[in-house]
Amino acid sequence: MKLKVLIKTLTIIKADKKKGMIPMKKWYNKGIISLVAVFLLFGLAGCGSSSDKSSNDAKKEDKVSETTKPKAKFKKGEEVKLETHHMEGMYGAKAKIVEVKYTKYYEVNYKSTVDGQEVKNHKWVVQDEIKDNPSNLKPGDHVTLEADHMKGMKGAEATIDAVHEGFIYAVDYHPTNDTSKEVKDHKWVTQDEMTKWK
């Protein structure tokens, strides 16, 4: 747009010169130089403001992503009360969080590599415990497990039963049916399966 205006202005000046309205060549040349300088200044100013705007937009986006980033309900080292029946003596047990991660996690059905027995609705297997770490898994997909939570699990063929995404935790705990025993690094427990210990 600015270039069109400049060309139009120069055309008018040339026409006026031919008619004798601008008799001094020197003045004509100075006029052109001045006009070009003005347009260049405006052009550079425009570029600067555009660059500043882009920079501000990027900062704004970073700020938004920081504020919308999910936050874990519990942190490593925190004591919690388990409210899940994954294993006998687990519900109501006092536990300590030893690992926290944000990932996709799955409920699976699999056949034990030890006795071929089918284990249904095992909770939970996380993304990096599945062979080849495939993306976009959905219920019904067949996978090979690399998790070693229980005997006969590692290397077992499994079917994805449910897909979730969020924070998940590994815990140490004392079973309520045998408090002298400690279960170390139990994987995994979700945020909804525990509450803060009081």
Nearest-angstrom CA–CA distance, 43 and 2: 8
- What is the value of pTM for the model shown? 0.66
Summarize pLDDT for 157-184 with one digit per residue, the tens. Answer: 999 999 999 999 999 999 999 988 999 9
Nearest-angstrom CA–CA distance, 60 and 116: 55
Mean pLDDT calculated for residue range 123-127: 98
| Residue 101 pLDDT | 97
| Residue 56 pLDDT | 58
> Which pair of tokens denotes residue 73?
């309900």
> Which pair of tokens denotes residue 156?
């077992």
> Vertex 18, ends 7 and 9: CA angle to 5°?
20
Contact 138, 163 (CB under 8 A): yes
Summarize pLDDT for 62-120 with one digit per residue, the tens. Answer: 444 455 668 999 999 999 999 999 999 999 999 999 999 999 999 999 999 999 999 99
